[in-house]
Amino acid sequence: MNSTSIQAATRALLLLIGQMLAPQSGRAEEPAKNIDPKALEIIQRASTYLAAVPQFSVSAEIWEDFVQEDGRKLQFTKIVDVKLRRPSWVQLDVRTSVPKRSFFYNGKSVTMLDQKTGFYGKAEAPGTIDETILAMEKKFGIDFPIDDLLVSKPFGNGAAMATAAQYYGVEPVNGITCHHLAFQNEGIDWQAWVEAGPVPVIRKVVITDKLEKSAPQFTAILTAWDFVTPLPDFVFSFDPPAGSIKVEMIKVDEPEEAGSVTK
């Protein structure tokens, strides 16, 4: 990505923040010509359903494109195991073929553990998941993986901000019949596959980055949705394993040279 597209990304970010902060009163005029109401209705049904459940666990297999400087597009895979209890408990384990990072949030503090080294950073946290996700990004530059799923309105804001939406009928995802929805937002296109039936869970999400010339994609396949297995408090509290070391967390504006231009 050259500096021009970074500037473009920054502009788009500011634009979107502006949209998000704008008062909701603009809603009445929103059903623009290109929005298929069926797509919007299904994504909102999925969002409302997930927002209303008191707890869930799910496993997300994520396929991500990385475009190399010579133009080759490579895809890498990681898995995020999610455990969430509303309103203020989240536990995430990120792994490839080995454990990578874990997150623990219990309404009071938030911890990120680097599984490879045993280093962890811990900070006081706000009282809700949404606030904590934003605070971690703002203070420490740390993103919660697949945060779109963790927020109080999963995918809801994204759908509300879409400039166009289409419905493509039903298709199987891992053998499960799903509604195929497509949305176009500023900077990204995204698609969602929502299970057809009484439990409208999201089974697959694809995000295409329109700001990059090579349009890399992010695909998440969601399996093992579980709304019943108890998630007691201890699941969300971090007990430093023997030998683990607490480290400072700092934010450095990227892509400012924080340390890694390798040649």
Partner 1 sequence: MKTIISPCHRLTGSLVIVALLMASVEFAFAGRHLSVRRNVNVRSNTHINRDVHVRRDIDIDIDRHHHSGFGVGLAAGVITGAAVGALVSSPPRGYTTVYVGSSPYAYYGGTYYQQGPSGYMVVAPPIGAIVPVLPPGATVAVVNGVTYYVFNGIYYQPVFVNGVTQFRTVRF
In the region spanning residues 114 to 133, those forming contacts with partner 1, defined by CB under 8 A, are 114, 116-119, 121
212 touches partner 1 (CB under 8 A) = yes
Q: Quick check: helix, strand or coil at residue 42?
A: helix
Does 259 bind partner 1 (CB under 8 A)? Our answer is yes
For residue 117, the minimal CB distance to partner 1 (Å) is 6
Q: How far is the CB of 259 from partner 1 (least distance, A)?
A: 5
Query: Is residue 218 involved in binding partner 1 (CB under 8 A)?
Result: yes
**Looking at beta carbons only, is 124 or 248 nearer to partner 1?**
248
| CB-nearer residue toward partner 1: 197 or 252 | 252
Q: What part of residues 7-46 is at the interface with partner 1 (CB under 8 A)?
A: 9-10, 12-13, 16-17, 20
The region of 25-33, 64-72, 221-229, 232-240 touching partner 1 under the rule CB under 8 A is 64-72
Rounded Cα–Cα distance for residues 137 and 198 (Å) = 35
Tell me which residues in 168-207 interact with partner 1 (CB under 8 A): 185-188, 190, 205, 207
Stretch 70-109: interaction string toward partner 1, x if CB under 8 A: x---x-x-x---------------x-x---xx--------
Q: Is 156 in the site for partner 1 (CB under 8 A)?
A: yes
Angle in degrees, CA 96, 10, 77, rounded to 5: 10
Of residues 230-249, which lie at the interface with partner 1 (CB under 8 A)?
A: 242-243, 245, 247-249
**35 DSSP 8-state letter:** B
The least CB distance from residue 149 to partner 1, in Å, is 9
- The most distant pair of C-alpha atoms in the chain lies apart, rounded to whole Å, by 59
Rounded Cα distance between 193 and 195, Å, is 7
CA dist 36 and 150 (Å) reads 26
The answer to whether the CB of 181 falls within 8 A of the CB of 43 is yes
Residue 183, class by beta-carbon neighbours within 10 Å (0-12 exposed, 13-18 middle, 19+ buried)?
A: buried
Residue 187: partners with Cβ closer than 8 Å, 6 or more residues away: 9, 12, 16, 209, 210, 211
